Structure 1
Amino acid sequence: MSGTAPRVVTTVAVDTIDGSLLDLVPAESPLSWLRHGDGVVGWGSVASIRTTGPTRFADAAKWWSELIANVEIIDEVDQPGTGPICFGTFGFADEPGDSVLVMPEVVVGRRGEVTWVTTVDGASADLGPQPAPHAPTVTFADGARNGEEWMSAVAEAVARINRGDLEKVVLARDLLATADAPIDVRWPLARLAEEYPTCWTFHVDGMFGATPEMLVRRERGLVTSRVLAGTIRRTGDDERDLALAAALARSSKDLEEHEYAVRSVAEALEPHCTGMNVPDVPFVLHLPNVMHLATDVTGVVHDGAQAGAAVSSLRLAEALHPSAAVGGTPTTTAVALIAEIEGMDRGRYAGPVGWMDASGDGEWGIALRSGEVDGDTVRLFAGCGIVGDSVPEAELAESQAKFVPVRDALS
């Protein structure tokens, strides 16, 4: 752990801020969680913790509970995301599982007509626009595996599935981007927020992207999880894309993949929720570059009377991770196969990323359509759900479509 527990956290309403909240964020360690212009951004670090291994979620949750127990909260706005909040990004695998939770010094939030600023110990919050970031000049190269090698891994996964070892596995690949100077992550963040407003644009500790998938939201007792599984690339021709969307909605391969993912989410949430609603039929989510089969699973969190406290959004994220949408089915078998044949360290790709407030409310997405920036390099990630009738060439094309958001945002 670094930093010390703050004394006073103050949230006040401010006048409406024109433009993107990202315009306010300085270049040093920006934090972001935005969708349709609403959300929270932050900067400065009052306290942080890095956790690893199988207990990374529990260790981070314990640290946050102890930290806010020693905080005086003055909250004049009383919205989810006001008062003290932390931003986090968590490793996909148990080992090494490198994860980060950070409490910023300044947070600016917007929710509809309400805009606020939260500061710790009276920190100065400059709400004027910061100097604009510069576009990098970037070259791209294969990551851990080239396309042929990755298709071989997909073929191996299909063989294992058809042999009966498992039902589904998600295989990912990476792409390396190298710039001519250290990358200011605010540049791709601004591009992603503009081009993909329906996604959640995030950045925490080098991990950034625009995820279409809400792993879990907890807001005043209501729990929501958006499941995406089953993908088709858009052509740019509206009439053709409508026909493709209809084909996606009827695709037995994609519906099978989607059913696995929805089932895994419902089973993970059930012990923590009552009154759950699991739609029978998915809808087609249209994004600028692809379309997905999507289902929103909802429920009401138990009041926690027996345990002494309601389960937090971070604990719900832990219960859900990894879902079939990013791991496979059965989960244990699929994750073991990923480690065996995928050929790369995912790091925090496909792990939970988001924020949580002092009450345990928060939003945790899955770090998809993402990259990890380190100085002048970025690792871009993309993954595909593999089932028994998956075709390696088609999966490679799908992965290339999923690279597009971050690749275009960088270049």
Structure 2
Amino acid sequence: MSASLFPSAQTIDLAPQPTVESASRPAAFTAVTVQLPGSRDDLLTNVPVPTGVLSFLSEGEGLVGWGTYASFTASGPDAAAHIAAWWADLSADLIVSDDVGVPGSGPIVFISLGFDDTDTSVALVPQTVLGSRDGRRFRTTIGPATMAAPPAQLVPVTAPGRISYSDAAVSVSDYIEAVTAGISRIRAGELKKVVLAHDLVATAENVVDERYVLSRLSQAYPTCWTFAVAGLVGATPEMLLRRRGLRISSRVLAGTAWSDRAGAHTAGTVATGLLASSKDLAEHAYAVDSVASVLGAVSADLQVPGAPRALPLANLTHLATDITGTLPAESDGPSTSALALAAALHPSAAVGGFPKDVARGLIRELEPMERGRYAAPVGWMNAAGEGEFAIALRCAEISGNTVRMMAGCGIMADSDPEKEAREAQIKMIPVRDALEG
């Protein structure tokens, strides 16, 4: 299966069980990666376009991209598998020149999966990627071997102007009602945990420049992963799955508290209280178990710490557990690619609930909105199946001058609906601050 490529890429949409016919594709397409002179400038400052930005950055390292060499969309329970097959077919036809040889060099695909089976998943292969890894800067370009891609003209970054806010599909009061209903169902014994979310719409005076939002998110939350794929932008603290060679890792976050930003003493007090909270520790344990059970099936040496640590961010503190393991060499293949493992983990109990299927059913019942690609895997992968997928949190969908933010909380039997609503509002602060400058 294939897409019409450079210079005007075609998007292919697949139903849950599609029939796809092969099409011809030009054979002499190249992906050329070159090392660039050392520089410490922010990669986002080099992105020439205001929309269609691709990003996956943390602490100044990672990848940004622009231009569409090829794109693909799919929905249904096998969306990730369809994307993987398309990417394998596409990358196999590329003539690759990569003298840099670091994670993210060479041809890559940015991927943002849908949360539910009915939500659309997106895959994009950019014409140009800029990367920084292990102190090395590089650029990858994809195009016909006989024609260099035209240099992009830098469009100045613009501010969104005045911002107004309005309720979206689920208002704060609607959210409190949904949380109350979820608590009742948990206490009735139907499930142990459910993650419920709501949304908020911001309307900007001007068309929103994605670089403006991303740069401010990256500066305010440098240890998070600042991501952008097909208009979904955010800064998430949760790495669902990283694969480098045969090494895999996952950072699980669940259990949250916040301070008034009054200083380290207050933050330390918050962390101490969080580590002593039976509610948050139980919530975190469900999330850790849901990840460990999947990765333990593919890694015999999976390392799972016995207790979480506190992870303080600018406005929240989370319970965090870092899980690591190694894939056996004989199992290396499509089923253990970064995308396949991320899809198998989704939705973890951190963003869905426990048990998984019961929680997903209750989310569909209590949330009268589509999550889209919120709280689903987002990241990148190379042709060898290596890559990084975070969970799309602290994020928003940008379309023109409209920005739809989403945030959710893990609901347990002893949750307080008012407190959970407050926590969801706090989780929207990163995007609100970034918009307001």
Q: TM-score interval w.r.t. the shorter chain?
A: over 0.9
AA aligned opposite 2:273:
A
Answer yes or no: is 1:8 the counterpart of 2:30: yes
CA-CA distance at 1:244 after TM superposition: 1.2
SS at match of 1:401: helix
Q: Hey, what's the Cα distance between the residues in 2 that align with 1:26 and 1:147?
A: 38
Which residue of 2 is the match for residue 60 of structure 1? 83
Alpha-carbon distance change, 308 to 103 in structure 1, aligned in 2, over 3 angstroms: closer
Q: Hey, what's the Cα distance between the residues in 2 that align with 1:311 and 1:230?
A: 29
Aligned 8 A contact 1:168 1:387 in 2: yes
Uncovered stretches (5+) of structure 1, i.e. residues with no partner:
none
Q: Hey, what's the Cα distance between the residues in 1 that align with 2:236 and 2:342?
A: 15
AA aligned opposite 1:185:
E
AA aligned opposite 1:119:
T
Moved more, 310-319 or 117-126: 117-126
Moved more, 101-110 or 230-239: 230-239
Q: Hey, what's the Cα distance between the residues in 2 that align with 1:283 and 1:40?
A: 28
Which residue of 1 is the match for residue 167 of structure 2? 142
Of 325, 330, 337 in structure 2, the residue corresponding to residue 299 of structure 1 is 325
Alpha-carbon distance change, 356 to 308 in structure 1, aligned in 2, over 3 angstroms: closer
CA-CA distance at 1:132 after TM superposition: 2.5
Q: Hey, what's the Cα distance between the residues in 2 that align with 1:384 and 1:123?
A: 48
Which residue of 2 is the match for residue 278 of structure 1? 304
CA-CA distance at 1:30 after TM superposition: 1.3
Which residue of 1 is the match for residue 65 of structure 2? 42
Which residue of 2 is the match for residue 240 of structure 1? 266
- Corresponding residue pairs, total: 409
Of 96, 99, 102 in structure 2, the residue corresponding to residue 76 of structure 1 is 99
User: Identity of aligned pairs, percent?
Assistant: 46
Which residue of 2 is the match for residue 383 of structure 1? 408
CA-CA distance at 1:3 after TM superposition: 3.0
Aligned 8 A contact 2:378 2:392 in 1: yes
Q: Hey, what's the Cα distance between the residues in 1 that align with 2:136 and 2:62?
A: 11
Answer yes or no: is 1:362 the counterpart of 2:384: no
CA-CA distance at 1:134 after TM superposition: 2.4
Which residue of 1 is the match for residue 44 of structure 2? 22
Alpha-carbon distance change, 310 to 300 in structure 1, aligned in 2, over 3 angstroms: farther
Of 225, 228, 253 in structure 1, the residue corresponding to residue 253 of structure 2 is 228
Alpha-carbon distance change, 176 to 78 in structure 1, aligned in 2, over 3 angstroms: same
Alpha-carbon distance change, 247 to 181 in structure 1, aligned in 2, over 3 angstroms: same
Q: Hey, what's the Cα distance between the residues in 2 that align with 1:408 and 1:13?
A: 35
TM-score with structure 2 setting the length: 0.91
Alpha-carbon distance change, 338 to 308 in structure 1, aligned in 2, over 3 angstroms: closer
- 1:11-410 to structure 2, matched below 5 A, reads 11-27=33-49, 28-95=51-118, 97-121=119-143, 123-124=148-149, 131-237=156-262, 238-305=264-331, 311-410=336-435
CA-CA distance at 1:124 after TM superposition: 4.1
Q: Deviations over 1:145-203 (max 9, x none)?
A: 22222111101111111110000000001000011221111111010011000000011
CA-CA distance at 1:127 after TM superposition: 9.0
Q: Hey, what's the Cα distance between the residues in 2 that align with 1:222 and 1:264?
A: 19
AA aligned opposite 1:230:
G
CA-CA distance at 1:112 after TM superposition: 2.9
CA-CA distance at 1:19 after TM superposition: 1.7
Q: Hey, what's the Cα distance between the residues in 1 that align with 2:204 and 2:53?
A: 20
CA-CA distance at 1:368 after TM superposition: 0.2
Moved more, 307-316 or 84-93: 307-316
Moved more, 328-337 or 152-161: 152-161
Uncovered stretches (5+) of structure 2, i.e. residues with no partner:
6-24
CA-CA distance at 1:71 after TM superposition: 1.2
AA aligned opposite 2:125:
M
Q: Deviations over 1:361-407 (max 9, x none)?
A: 10001000000011110110101000110000110111111010001
Q: Hey, what's the Cα distance between the residues in 2 that align with 1:104 and 1:308?
A: 24
AA aligned opposite 1:265:
V
Aligned 8 A contact 2:160 2:207 in 1: no
Q: Deviations over 1:49-69 (max 9, x none)?
A: 111111110000000011111
Q: Deviations over 1:339-381 (max 9, x none)?
A: 0012211011001110001111100010000000111101101
Alpha-carbon distance change, 366 to 309 in structure 1, aligned in 2, over 3 angstroms: closer
Aligned 8 A contact 2:160 2:204 in 1: no
AA aligned opposite 1:116:
F
Q: Hey, what's the Cα distance between the residues in 2 that align with 1:326 and 1:72?
A: 39
SS at match of 2:141: strand
CA-CA distance at 1:310 after TM superposition: 6.4
Segments of 4+ in structure 1 off by > 6 A?
none
CA-CA distance at 1:125 after TM superposition: 7.6
CA-CA distance at 1:130 after TM superposition: 5.3
SS at match of 2:297: helix
CA-CA distance at 1:126 after TM superposition: 5.2
Alpha-carbon distance change, 378 to 309 in structure 1, aligned in 2, over 3 angstroms: closer
Moved more, 377-386 or 174-183: 174-183
Q: Hey, what's the Cα distance between the residues in 2 that align with 1:376 and 1:128?
A: 23
Which residue of 1 is the match for residue 13 of structure 2? none
SS at match of 1:368: coil
